[in-house]
Structure 1
Amino acid sequence: MKKIVMFMIAAIMTFLLIACSDSQTHDGEAKTPSASGAQKGRDYQSVVEDFEERGFTNISLVALDDLITGWLTKDGEVENVSVDGDENYSADKWYSNDVEVIITYHTFSEESDLEEDEESKESISEKAEDKAVESILTIETCADLEKLLSTEGEINDFYSTFAEQYKGSTIVFDGCITYITNHGDYDTRYDILMSGGNYVDDEMVNPGPIFKFEDVNTYGMGIEDLYLPDYISVGSNVHVTAEVEYFSENEGVFYLNPVKVESR
C-alpha cells in the first residue's frame, strides 16, 4: 500500500512539473515557424509574415538579382533563411525576438544579358512604352476617369459602369488617405481607404467614390520598406497608380489593386 501511495505522489509531481514547464511564458522570445529547409522555394513575403506572426521583429531581406527568364525559379522565391546566423535552424525553436532573421530570395537583374544591337533595343523599348501609355488612364487622357473623380456622392450608378467598362485597366490619380487598419491579425497587411483630391479633414467628403485597397502589404504598393513609411498615414496626399477591380454597391466602396503609391 505504501508503495502504491509513493508511486501516485511521484506521478502527480511529474505531472505538475510538466504542466509548469509547458505554462512558462516566453517574454521577449519568438518561436521559429518551420525548419530552414521548408522555406526554400516559398514566396519571400509569405515567409516574412510567418516570422512576424511568431513575434520576430528584426527581419532583413537580401535580394539575389540572378533571374533572367523566371521559368525555373520564380521572382521572389526564397533561397534560404537564417535565424541568428544559423541557416539550419529547427522548427519551433525559441530565440530572442530581436535576433536577426535574414531572408534571401531570387529576383530579376536590373541589367539584361541578352545581346541585341542598339537599333533593335530602341525599337522594342519604344513599342513597350507606347503600349504602357495606352493602357494607363489619367484625367488628361480619359474623360470617364475625370468624371469618376468629380461625381458627387458615395454611391452612384456611374461608379459601377466605370468599374465594369475599365476592369483591369490601370488608373493614375492624385488622392488622399482617409483610413488605415491592419487586415485581420496581420502586422504587415493592411486595409486602406482613399478618396480623390487633397485631404481637408475627417469631416470633409471629397467628390468621387471611396477607394479601397484590401489585404495589401508594402511590396504590393511599390514600397521597398517592410513597414509603412510615414507618408502612408491618414491625412496624407498621395499619387496613386492602381488597377480597377470592382465597385461594391452594398458597401459603397470602389476596390482597387495597388501598383504604386507615392508621396506628393
Structure 2
Amino acid sequence: MIRVVRRQGPPSKKQQKVVLGVAAGLLPVLAVIITIGAITEKDAPTSPAAATTQATAKQKPTRATPESEPVPSTAGAEAVLTVKNNKDLAALLTAVDDYDLFEDFATKYRGRTIRFDGVVAAMNHHGDYKTRYDILVFAGDSPGSKVTGPNFQFNDVNITSDLRLTGSNIPDAITVGQKLRITAEVEGYAGPEHQDLFRLDPVSTEMR
C-alpha cells in the first residue's frame, strides 16, 4: 500500500489567531512566576559565608593609624643622689661615727654619684708630688666642731684638672676652710682600722 504524505502549507489565519491567543494567555502566568521567584529569592536567608562577604564589601576602608613616636626612656639613667631625693644620703651626712652605716652606704651605692655641700678640712701632698693632693672634706660648712658624716677624701688629685672646678669665682688656690658643692662618684669606704676614709672620685667641684 502506498502512503501519500501531503505537504502542509502555511498556517491559516485562524490557526495563527489561536497560537497568539495561547501565547497571550501564558504571559500573565509567566509574569506571576517571575515575580514570586524574585520575592522568594529576596526573602531567602543568606548563608553565613555570603553574609560575611557582603559585610566585608560594605565596610569602608580605614586609614592606618600612624604609630606614635617612641618616647626616649630615662629609666636607665641614674639620677644624682642628694639629701632631697635619697634618705640614705641624708642619714649618712648627719651620722656621727656610725661606721657600719658608712660601710653599708658605700657598698650599696658604689659607682653612684652623690651631691652635697662640704668644706675642705685638710690638704696634704700625695707622696712626693708637688701638685697632687689628698684632700679631706667634711659635710656642712665648718671643718671644726660639730662635724657629722664620714671623712670624705679625694685621693691623689690635681687641683686644676681632677677636681673639675666650676663656679663664678674660682680661686687661684684651695685652702682649708674652702666651702664646696661636691658632685662625686662613690668609690668605697675603709673603716677605722684603715684610716676611716670614705673615698670619692670628683665629677665637679663648685665654689660656694
User: Do structure 1's residue 139 and structure 2's residue 80 form an aligned pair?
Assistant: no
Aligned equivalent of 2:128: 185
Equivalent of 1:210, from 151, 158, 163?
151
SS at match of 2:131: coil
CA shift for structure 1 position 185: 1.6
**RMSD of aligned C-alpha atoms?**
2.3
- Any conservation in 2 of the 1:213–1:255 contact (CA below 8 Å)? yes
Which ranges of structure 1 fall in alignment gaps of 5 or more residues? 1-119
Distance in 1 between residues matched to 2:96 and 2:140, nearest whole Å = 13
Q: 1:262 corresponds to which residue?
A: 206
Partner of 2:93: 149
- What pairs up with 1:99-118 in 2 under 5 angstroms? none
Could you say if the C-alpha distance between residues 200 and 190 of structure 1 is closer, same or farther in structure 2, counting changes exceeding 3 Å? Answer: closer
Work out whether 1:167 is the aligned partner of 2:110.
yes
Query: In structure 2, what is the equivalent of residue 199 of structure 1?
Result: 142
Structure 1 residue 219, shift from structure 2 partner: 1.1
Query: For 1:21-69, what per-residue CA distance to the aligned partner results, in whole angstroms no more than 9, with x for missing partners?
Result: xxxxxxxxxxxxxxxxxxxxxxxxxxxxxxxxxxxxxxxxxxxxxxxxx
Structure 1 outlier segments of 4+, above 4 Å: none
Contact 1:174 1:237 in 2 (8 A): yes
Paired positions, count: 133
Structure 2 counterpart SS, 1:146: helix
In 1, the alpha carbon distance for the partners of 2:165 and 2:143 equals: 25
Equivalent position SS for 1:168: coil
Could you say which structure has the greater relative contact order, defined with CA pairs below 8 angstroms and 6 or more residues apart? 2
Q: Percent identity?
A: 40
CA deviation profile, 1:230-262 (whole Å, cap 9, x unmatched) = 462101111000000111012111111111111
Deviations 1:78-129 (A, max 9, x none): xxxxxxxxxxxxxxxxxxxxxxxxxxxxxxxxxxxxxxxxxx9xx76xx57x
What corresponds to 1:33 in structure 2? none
Is this contact kept in 2: 1:231–1:263, CA < 8 A?
no
SS class of match (1:138): coil
Q: Distance in 2 between matches of 1:158 and 1:151?
A: 8
1:253 alignment counterpart: 197
- Alpha carbons 1:199, 1:236 under 8 Å: kept: no
Q: Pick one of 175, 180, 188 that aligns with 1:238.
A: 180
Pick the structure with greater CA Rg: 2
Rounded to whole Å, the distance in 2 between the matches of 1:191 and 1:199 is: 19
The letter for the 2-side match of 1:180 is M
What is the TM-score normalised by the length of structure 1? 0.46
Which of 228-237 and 206-215 deviates more?
228-237
Runs (5+) with no aligned partner, structure 2: 1-68
Kept after mapping to 1: 8 A contact 2:121/2:143: no
